[in-house]
């Protein structure tokens, strides 16, 4: 910031007009300095509030009642007509305990009168029973399976003899005594339930089994390397989707003498496709994770390859080369909303609603239309978006362009306006297709297991450990997205994989998986 040059009494002019010019010039300089100071103060205040909210505040981006009800300036924009809905009578929710799932196994325990109670009557006739259910917990237990392979001395008709020994299913891993169920439990506990291996080791010790953290680590690494043969088939499925959601997050990686910031990426299959009869069908959901030591743009290009379609992603420059190669960028309205939301949360209490509140009203209209289209097929969704959504987007863009020149470019509100306008083409792509979502929340939800896990097991001990996490997360998250219990899936696949045909690995992917009879 350039400060005014110092002025001494001798350098001041003696005439009135030059003095007035000097005063006006100094006033303009002071106003410019004040504007710069205000912008810096506003930015620092915004950063402080955002830091405090991230550390101590709620994560939800909810505006409390009354915060966005008023407008600082009247703004005209089209409001979609309300659809008629039949409103049924309110049904009061019944109280009491929730019903116990009928799928849980039952064990019948009969309670009878004691012999002393029966002796008090001349005769007894059983006329019925009263049944009540008690939900009980049976702790997990470890057992040792002894594989006894019977041996036979076999003699053929021509008199020749030999010794035959029955085969047995051992551990999926070479030179290991860990069963498929135990391996599946360790991986699910770490990557789905976010329980570090050191903590699991202490849990096993309480059950009377000594399993060191290093042993558990070796099991996870070896099991995921066995499961890694499924990753090419999973990648082919993801790349067969017309829409891919992608995001990345940080993951600490131990390196010799230091810890570096590595990356975990996710690519999710999405959208719908038409069959031969012209009917729309949803693409089976699948999540492909990829671990890298840096955030180079070569990594998305390596995964996507020659794929062409809609890539739902943020404005990371590493994707730009893919966008030039026939991939259409679909930006995220949740990112735009979050920037205006942060401005509102950083505002002093009691401040009147401003431009950020108005922007959220526009974005709210977009999502109000999308909520009504949640179950619609792509053809209906496209027709409504081309009409109602396009009118809202046109009004919003006109409003943004009108107010942006009045804002300081480096202020939080100025950055929010600039982000929306600079990404406007990618933000409005969804309105020209019924296959797309307005935001990238699907990928952000898939990043949540990584974010929660790294708070527990903190870091990847090596690139091999990072790749193991990517394999385990890919299969567990894909199973979860398809409504499959991850433990049952991993146990069955680890049992079948060593003897499965390599040209039929697609059968073992979660979306195609059928448990062994």
Measured CA to CA, the distance from residue 274 to residue 279 in angstroms comes to: 5
More confident call, 64 vs 133: 133
**Residues 6+ positions from 49 with CB-CB distance below 8 Å:** 342, 345, 346
Mean pLDDT estimate for the chain: 86
Q: Which residue has the tokens 């919003």?
A: 396
517, burial (CB in 10 Å: exposed 0-12, middle 13-18, buried 19+): exposed
**Minimal CA–CA distance to 83: which of 368, 439, 397?**
368
Predicted pLDDT at 3: 56
**How many beta carbons lie within 10 A of that of residue 7, not counting itself?**
10
Which carries the bigger pLDDT value, residue 388 or residue 81? 388
10 Å CB burial of residue 366 (0-12, 13-18, 19+) is buried
| Tens digit of each residue's pLDDT (9 = 90 or more) over 138-161 | 888 888 999 899 999 999 888 889
Residue 176's Cα: distance from chain center in Å? 34
pLDDT at residue 80, rounded to an integer:
45
Phi-psi sector, 127: left (phi>0), alpha (psi -120 to 50), beta: alpha
Is pLDDT at 98 greater than 90 in this prediction? no
User: Is residue 26 very low, low, confident or very high in pLDDT (cuts 50, 70, 90)?
Assistant: confident
CA distances from 474 to 8, 26, 173, 256, 310 (A): 72, 63, 20, 28, 21
Alpha helices by DSSP H, 84-212: 115-119, 180-191, 197-206
Cβ neighbours of 511 (radius 10 Å) = 17
Is 281:275 a contact under the CB 8 Å cutoff? yes
Other Cβ atoms less than 10 A from the Cβ of 425: the count is 9
* pLDDT score, position 211: 93
Structural contact between residues 452 and 476, judged by C-beta atoms closer than 8 angstroms? no
* Residue 407 CB contacts under 8 Å (≥ 6 apart), including other chains: 355, 413, 414, 417
- The residue among 454 and 469 whose pLDDT is bigger is 469
Q: Which of 6-10, 198-202, 236-240, 443-447 has the lowest mean pLDDT?
A: 6-10
The model's pTM is: 0.80
In which element (H, E) is residue 328 found?
A: strand 328-330
In tens, the pLDDT along 104-131 reads 889 999 999 999 998 989 889 899 999 9
Range with the lowest mean pLDDT among 73-82, 111-120, 473-482? 73-82
**Average pLDDT of 182-201?**
95
């Amino acid at each position: 910031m350039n400060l005014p040059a110092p002025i001494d009494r001798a350098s001041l002019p003696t005439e009135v007009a030059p003095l007035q010019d000097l005063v006006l010039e100094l006033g303009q300089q002071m106003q410019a300095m004040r504007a710069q100071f205000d912008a810096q103060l506003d930015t620092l205040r915004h950063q402080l509030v955002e830091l405090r909210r991230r550390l101590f505040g709620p994560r939800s981006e909810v505006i409390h009642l009354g915060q966005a009800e008023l407008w600082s300036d009247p703004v005209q924009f089209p409001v979609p007509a309300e659809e008629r809905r039949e409103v049924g009578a309110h049904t009061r929710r019944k109280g009491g305990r929730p019903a116990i799932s009928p799928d849980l196994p039952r064990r019948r325990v009969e309670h009878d009168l004691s012999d002393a109670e029966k002796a008090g009557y001349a005769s007894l006739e059983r006329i019925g029973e009263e049944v009540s259910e008690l939900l009980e917990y049976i702790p997990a237990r470890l057992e040792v399976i002894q594989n006894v392979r019977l041996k036979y001395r076999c003699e053929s008709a021509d008199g020749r003899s030999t010794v035959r020994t029955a085969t047995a299913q051992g551990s999926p891993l070479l030179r290991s005594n860990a069963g498929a169920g135990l391996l599946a439990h360790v991986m699910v506990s770490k990557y789905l339930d976010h329980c570090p291996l050191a903590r699991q080791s202490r849990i096993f010790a309480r059950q009377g089994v000594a399993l060191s953290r290093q042993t558990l680590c070796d099991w996870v690494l070896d099991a995921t390397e066995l499961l890694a043969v499924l990753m090419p088939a999973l990648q082919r499925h993801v790349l067969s989707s017309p829409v891919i959601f992608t995001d990345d997050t940080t993951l600490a990686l131990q390196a010799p003498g230091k810890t570096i910031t590595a990356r975990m990426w996710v690519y999710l299959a999405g959208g719908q496709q038409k069959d031969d009869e012209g009917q729309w069908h949803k693409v089976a959901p699948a999540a492909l994770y990829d671990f890298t030591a840096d955030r180079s743009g070569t990594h998305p290009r390596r995964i996507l390859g020659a794929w062409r379609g809609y890539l739902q992603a943020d404005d990371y420059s590493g994707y730009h080369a893919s966008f030039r190669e026939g991939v259409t960028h679909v930006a995220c309205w949740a990112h735009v909303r979050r920037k205006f939301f942060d401005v509102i949360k950083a505002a002093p209490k009691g401040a009147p609603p401003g431009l950020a509140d108005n922007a959220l009203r526009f974005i709210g209209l977009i999502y109000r239309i999308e909520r009504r289209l949640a179950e619609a097929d792509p053809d209906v969704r496209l027709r409504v978006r081309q009409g109602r959504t396009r009118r809202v987007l046109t009004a919003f863009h006109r409003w943004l362009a009108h107010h942006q020149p009045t804002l300081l470019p480096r202020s939080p509100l100025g950055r929010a306006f600039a982000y929306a306008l600079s990404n406007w083409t990618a933000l409005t792509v969804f309105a020209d297709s019924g296959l797309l979502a307005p935001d990238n929340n699907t990928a952000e939800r898939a990043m949540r297991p990584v974010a929660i896990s790294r708070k527990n097991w903190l870091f990847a001990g090596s690139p091999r450990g990072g790749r193991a996490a990517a394999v385990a997360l890919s299969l567990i998250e894909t199973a979860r997205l398809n409504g499959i219990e991850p433990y049952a899936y991993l146990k069955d696949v680890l049992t079948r994989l060593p003897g499965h045909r390599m040209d039929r690995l697609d059968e073992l992917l979660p979306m195609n998986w059928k448990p062994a009879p």
